[in-house]
Structure 1
Amino acid sequence: MLTLPSAFIDSSEQHRQVGPLPIWETATMDAATRDPVDELIAAESPHTDSVWVLGRPSLVHVAEGRVAAWADDCRDLADIPEAIRLNPLTAGDVSDSPVVWMSLPASLDELDELLGTLWRILGPDAHIVAGGRIKHMSRSMNDVAARWFNEVHASLGVRKARVLHFSSPRQRPAITGTWPRTNTVNGLTIRAHGGVFHTAGVDAGTSLLLDYLDAIAADVHSDAVDLGCGNGVISAHLARLLPQATIHATDVSWQAVDSTRLTAQANQLNIVTHWCDGLVDVPHESVDVVVTNPPFHRGTAQDHAPTLAMLADAARVLRPGGTLWCVYNNHLPWASHVRRTIGPTRQVVRNRRYTVIRTVRR
């Protein structure tokens, strides 16, 4: 990804000012793609000729002037021209102070890391317009922003959406810790960005799965995949236990993939990371084991489609006789699904909240 301000391109032959745009009245966003959060972000934006768009790729095509954009989710990259991609978490100093249009993340840790990063690389005239659905917003977001910026205020709500404005960077921010975070789990150093599920810790489902690590490792002859790798805790355990095997780790989230890379680096382990949707980088019938703790949401919305796609990918990449190890919330129907679509399935363990299953590829 491009990481320098020179990655900015002009979206027009001449710089046009971005200002309060009534984008619901323009041809740049048709009725099928209108979103009240996008509309409010653009309408509330101060005038500028330079915009960074973070996490809301649909706004790339609305912004005018010099535009750069970044999305943590690789599935959003199709809407961001490669020439304007910029990752703020790896960017150097910038020569100007763009207005930032961003999505408010559900995670306060992710918000803290993003605002801290922007505080470091933007100039004193920086202005951030962060939008979200009111039902997913909290006063704690203002508190996090106030660590980094003197001016924090909210817009009026419009169609169940609202934006927060952050400006006037503090000279001495109230830093509560550095990112990525570091934690120790079973003698392994785990590192994680703020947007990673459970940051540098281990959630209860993954912890239950790790209780059966020896059994998982016994199924691995040469290759295993951690599908939806998060902070890399599963990958790292497998790589430590199986130093001769090739361990792949994949995730749609750049923050997750980079966290896994940092975890591998901290423990001097060899893990092959892939920032991709599912297992598109893994050949057909090429691995012995797929291990996964699949999500049941995308962002703040519950969505089973990603898990169904992940399980279909697992069926594709497993060798005949290979195994899928999966942990999931008890109310979800994944055992019957993989029994039908992949092969014989048995319940390894079930507690009050989670189930671990082992499925053999036909």
Structure 2
Amino acid sequence: MSPRLSLALDAGLSLSEPLTVIGATPDHDLSALPQTAEVVQPFKPFHDHFAALGFDAKPESDTDCHDAIIFLPRAKALARALIFQACARADGAVVVDGAKTDGVDSLLKDIRKRVPVEGPIAKAHGKIFWFQADKQAFADWAAPEKQQVDGFCTAPGVFSADGIDPASALLAQALPQKLGARVADLGAGWGYLSARVLADDSVRGLHLVEADHIALTCARSNVVDARAQFHWADATTWTAPEPLDAIIMNPPFHTSRAADPALGQGFIQSAARNLGRSGDLWMVANRHLPYEAVLADAFLRVDEVAGDNRFKVFHASRPRR
């Protein structure tokens, strides 16, 4: 279990069911909690981790609970929205556990201005505290029902929630007019690149593959086209129903604070696996990330076709078998 949560339970925090846990990652050991606890985690690999452990894992939830535990995300707007959601659902305690680097001190200060707080307990470069659920006290922290950015629907905490990502915009400019009939957008996010692709009438089908359930929900609002198919899935393990003509992607390079180039490399290998023999990959990446070697291993031809001092756009063709 989280070392801070263990300390809180020893210090007098009492949890009652039904219990909801929001935002837990595989780094959080929940083994001391009842397996009937609902674990809300929209990121597919983390969701699957807790489902495999026997918890009632869900990507989103609005069912009532008695107590709720929130493991803080990095995004401040999302953290506040989760506090409101927990207060709207719980009629007991709301427990907040977070690292200093995730802004727990600032959030604790803001919450103390609104409700009485118990704890806090400091441990392992973070804090845990709890308070009685109060929906009205945090009504102004609710996420907007329709968050519009540049004409697109987004949501707090999703990638590029505040505007079109400049790397994706660079890739969109570099795409050819005709991509092919069968296309996939790996790591589709809220659908900016997919909307660009579907402007091509020759595309017969487009698979939007996204691990963040919230982002994918936004994409369903932004990409209203019968040719689009939506997949809540890990792009590194997803398998297309048939070989594809083209894949576009702006792969993530971290699931936590630390950069992990292996994640983007997994996207490249997935693209090579899902493309047909003459298929094409169009990809953008941060210039400092070392993708050239894995691209050369996965494709017979690799060209950098666009870029600037921050990003590079690759066109890779003829995947190796």
Q: d(CA) in 1 for partners of 2:316 and 2:146?
A: 35
**Which residue is 2:3 aligned to?**
36
Q: Within 5 Å, which residues of 2 pair with 1:172-211?
A: 173-175=139-141, 178-184=144-150, 189-199=151-161, 201-211=163-173
TM-score scaled by structure 2?
Answer: 0.85
Deviations 1:148-204 (A, max 9, x none): x534576232122322434341526225761441223xxxx4112212111152111
Instruction: Report the Cα distance in structure 2 between the residues aligned to 1:108 and 1:264, rounded to whole angstroms.
Output: 27
Match of 2:90 among 97, 122, 130: 122
Query: Do the aligned partners of 1:41 and 1:131 also contact (CA within 8 Å) in 2?
Result: no
Identity across the alignment (%):
19
Is contact 1:284-1:316 (8 Å) kept? no
- Alpha-carbon offset, residue 288 of structure 1: 1.1
In the alignment, is residue 56 of structure 1 matched against residue 24 of structure 2? yes
2:42 is equivalent to residue 67 of structure 1: no
* TM-aligned CA deviation for residue 312 of structure 1: 0.9
What do the CA deviations read for 1:79-125 (whole angstroms, capped 9, x no partner)?
A: 225672344x4424x2xx422122100011221332232233333x3
- Paired residues of 2:36 and 2:56 also in contact (CA < 8 A): no
Contact persistence 1:113–1:193 (CA under 8 A): no
The residue identity in structure 2 corresponding to 1:62 is A
The equivalent of 1:84 in structure 2 is 56
Aligned partner of 2:217 among 258, 261, 283: 258
Aligned to 1:347: 304
How many Å separate the matches in 1 of 2:8 and 2:309?
43
Number of aligned residue pairs: 313
Unaligned segments of structure 1, at least 5 residues: 1-33
User: Alpha-carbon deviation of 1:324?
Assistant: 1.0
Unaligned runs of 5+ in 2: none
Q: Which of 155, 159, 163 does residue 120 from structure 2 map onto?
A: 155
- 100-109 vs 127-136, which moves further: 127-136
Separation in 2, partners of 1:183, 1:222? 29
Tell me how far 1:263 sits from its aligned partner.
1.6
Letter in 1 for 2:254: H
In the TM superposition, residue 344 of structure 1 has moved relative to its aligned partner by 0.9
The alignment partner of 2:234 has SS state of coil
- Aligned runs of 1:301-316 on 2, under 5 Å? 301-316=258-273
TM-score using structure 1 length: 0.76
Shift of the alpha carbon at 1:309? 1.4
Deviations 1:282-317 (A, max 9, x none): 337611111111111112232222212111111100
SS in 2 for 1:326: strand
Q: Is the 8 A contact 2:181 2:202 kept in 1?
A: no
Matches within 5 A, 1:161-172: 161-171=126-136
